[in-house]
Amino acid sequence: MHPNFPFSVHWTLVFVKLMIQVFNELTRPNIRQMKPYSAVEIPCRVKLDANEAPYGLVPGLLEVETNRYPDPEARELRHHLAQTLNVGTENIILGNGSDEVIYHLITALGGPVLYPTPTFVMYGIIAQTLAEATVPVPLDDNLDLNAAAMTEAIKRHNPRLIFLSSPNNPTGNNFDYETMLEILRLSRGIVIIDEAYQPYSTRPSVIPLMARYNNLYVMRTLSKVGLAALRVGLLIGAADGIAELNKVRLPYNVNALSQRLALAALRDGGLIEHNIKTVITERQRLFEGLAHINNITTYPSEANFILIKTNNAKTLHQRLLKNGILVKDMTSALEDCLRITIGKPEENTEILSALEEIKGAKL
Ligand SMILES: *Cc1c(COP(=O)(O)O)cnc(C)c1O
């Protein structure tokens, strides 16, 4: 403590407590009610819980002028992405991860915000943070969009924003194509198709559909293909909408190191492509391996993770962790389900043998 500090430690603590009370009372009710998003780091040897790619990329040396602000428009990176995706630079806005893009969308457009559940949790969390109404619509028994329930909810709530994650996290499937088109036709609001996992999917991107539906915006991220540390997400859409969103974006939201590293990694795209192919091959091997283990139901996946259902999922989660293997406990959203991210071949082999051992003999 600085000797000139006017309070004793004791009084400082009392003071801090009072301040917290004042802050609590002043906090908007919708924020006060929220539980903080838990991003706890559980120590483990084999990390298969967060849908990260198992390989990082080493794209060469940095030459960043650290005394200068980054390019506020990230022009070079946006230009490169635009060329790769065959759209204009004015059709792309970047976020500090696609999480931030979601923030910008809900800030600019407001709610109601409609999404099927279970899905990526940030749509709901960010809407609540911004005190916007949410309309969660349960998926059907096949974990696909419930077309009737979606239609009904769109008509009743007239959402300003609809988020469709396809492939969906945590279920791993692409949503029925015709139902997505129907939603685009029916909705008077903006429909975001979140293609975070598209690079792992057999279905092509919906980006070309933007020519037919002016309310379609497509979200992408570099996080699931080996660049999660950089925090770069993007939204692709009509230039007028992108320009509106640009008004709520803070100028330097993607830092200079991330801009530079993302560009270097994308220019040397071969490595990213190679790693994606490896994960897809491993997904098939893990899927087949899981199918042979007692009492595990495996859902087909178009993403870099596999959802499984099993009896006593929570116990299984804990037993894997005792073996140093961390997977994602999905039981609060999907009864008895765990989500396993595809790891390196040796990690996938390890989780397969751990599961075989825990679950008893193979079928
Ligand atoms: C992981 C994930 C994101 C978030 O990506 P960031 O760019 O890392 O913020 C967005 N959407 C879905 C469906 C995800 O699973």
Domains of the chain, by residue range, sit at 46-53+271-360, 75-268
Q: Strands of 245-320 (E only): list them.
A: 296-298, 305-310
pLDDT exceeds cutoff 60 at 17: yes
In whole numbers, what is the pLDDT of the chain averaged over residues? 92
Strand order in the sheet with 233-236: 92-95, 233-236, 216-221, 190-194, 161-165, 113-117, 134-138
> Tens of pLDDT along 324-362?
999 999 999 999 999 999 999 999 999 999 999 998 755
* Residues in contact with ligand 1 (CB, 6 Å cut-off): 51, 97-99, 120, 165, 169, 194, 196, 221, 223, 228, 233
For the chain, the straight-line distance linking the first and the last C-alpha, in angstroms and rounded, comes to 65
Return phi, psi of residue 46, to 5°. Answer: -115, 110
Strands 216-221 and 190-194: what pairing? Answer: parallel
Distance from residue 223's CA to the centre of ligand 1 (Å): 7
Architecture of domain 46-53+271-360: Alpha-Beta Complex (3.90)
Query: Rg (Cα) of the chain, in Å, rounded?
Result: 22
Q: Do domains 46-53+271-360 and 75-268 have the same CATH topology?
A: no
pLDDT exceeds cutoff 90 at 319: yes
**pTM of structure:** 0.91
Mean pLDDT of 79-95: 97
Atom from ligand 1 closest to the CA of residue 165: 13
The reported pLDDT for the residue numbered 32 is 87
Distance from residue 113's CA to the centre of ligand 1 (Å): 17
pLDDT exceeds cutoff 60 at 225: yes
pLDDT exceeds cutoff 60 at 1: no
Distance from residue 98's CA to the centre of ligand 1 (Å): 6
292's CB contacts (< 8 A; 6+ apart) are 362, 363
Q: Which amino acid residue places its CA nearest to atom 11 of ligand 1?
A: 196
Distance from residue 34's CA to the centre of ligand 1 (Å): 21
Instruction: Round to whole Å and give the CA distance between 268 and 158.
Output: 44
Q: C-alpha distances in angstroms, 227 versus 38, 55, 205, 259, 263?
A: 22, 9, 20, 11, 11
Fold topology of 75-268:
Aspartate Aminotransferase; domain 2 (3.40.640)
Return phi, psi of residue 82, to 5°. Answer: -60, -45
> Tens of pLDDT along 291-317?
999 899 999 999 999 999 999 999 999
Mean pLDDT of 194-210: 98
Q: How confident is the model at residue 140 (pLDDT cuts 50, 70, 90)?
A: very high
Q: How confident is the model at residue 35 (pLDDT cuts 50, 70, 90)?
A: confident
Distance from residue 303's CA to the centre of ligand 1 (Å): 12
117: helix, coil or strand?
Answer: strand
105, 217, 219, 223: residue to mutate for ligand 1 pocket, most atoms within 8 A of CB: 223
The reported pLDDT for the residue numbered 141 is 95
Atom from ligand 1 closest to the CA of residue 120: 13
For the chain, what percent of residues have pLDDT higher than 70?
A: 93
Distance from residue 41's CA to the centre of ligand 1 (Å): 18
Distance from residue 53's CA to the centre of ligand 1 (Å): 13
169, 195, 220, 230: residue to mutate for ligand 1 pocket, most atoms within 8 A of CB: 169
* More confidently predicted of 171 and 16: 171
The reported pLDDT for the residue numbered 363 is 44
Instruction: Round to whole Å and give the CA distance between 147 and 116.
Output: 10
Q: Which amino acid residue places its CA nearest to atom 15 of ligand 1?
A: 169
Mean pLDDT of 131-151: 97
Atom from ligand 1 closest to the CA of residue 222: 7
Distance from residue 203's CA to the centre of ligand 1 (Å): 18
Atom from ligand 1 closest to the CA of residue 232: 7
The reported pLDDT for the residue numbered 2 is 56
pLDDT exceeds cutoff 50 at 276: yes
> Tens of pLDDT along 96-128?
999 999 999 999 999 999 999 999 999 999 999
Distance from residue 219's CA to the centre of ligand 1 (Å): 9
289's CB contacts (< 8 A; 6+ apart) are 348, 352
Distance from residue 8's CA to the centre of ligand 1 (Å): 46
The reported pLDDT for the residue numbered 5 is 58
Atom from ligand 1 closest to the CA of residue 228: 8
Answer for the pair 226, 57: CB distance below 8 angstroms, yes or no: yes
221, 232, 258, 341: residue to mutate for ligand 1 pocket, most atoms within 8 A of CB: 221
> Tens of pLDDT along 205-223?
999 999 999 999 999 999 9
252: helix, coil or strand?
Answer: coil
Mean pLDDT of 255-274: 91
Tokens of 139: 């998926």
* More confidently predicted of 85 and 29: 85
Least confident piece of the model among 63-67, 71-75, 232-236: 63-67
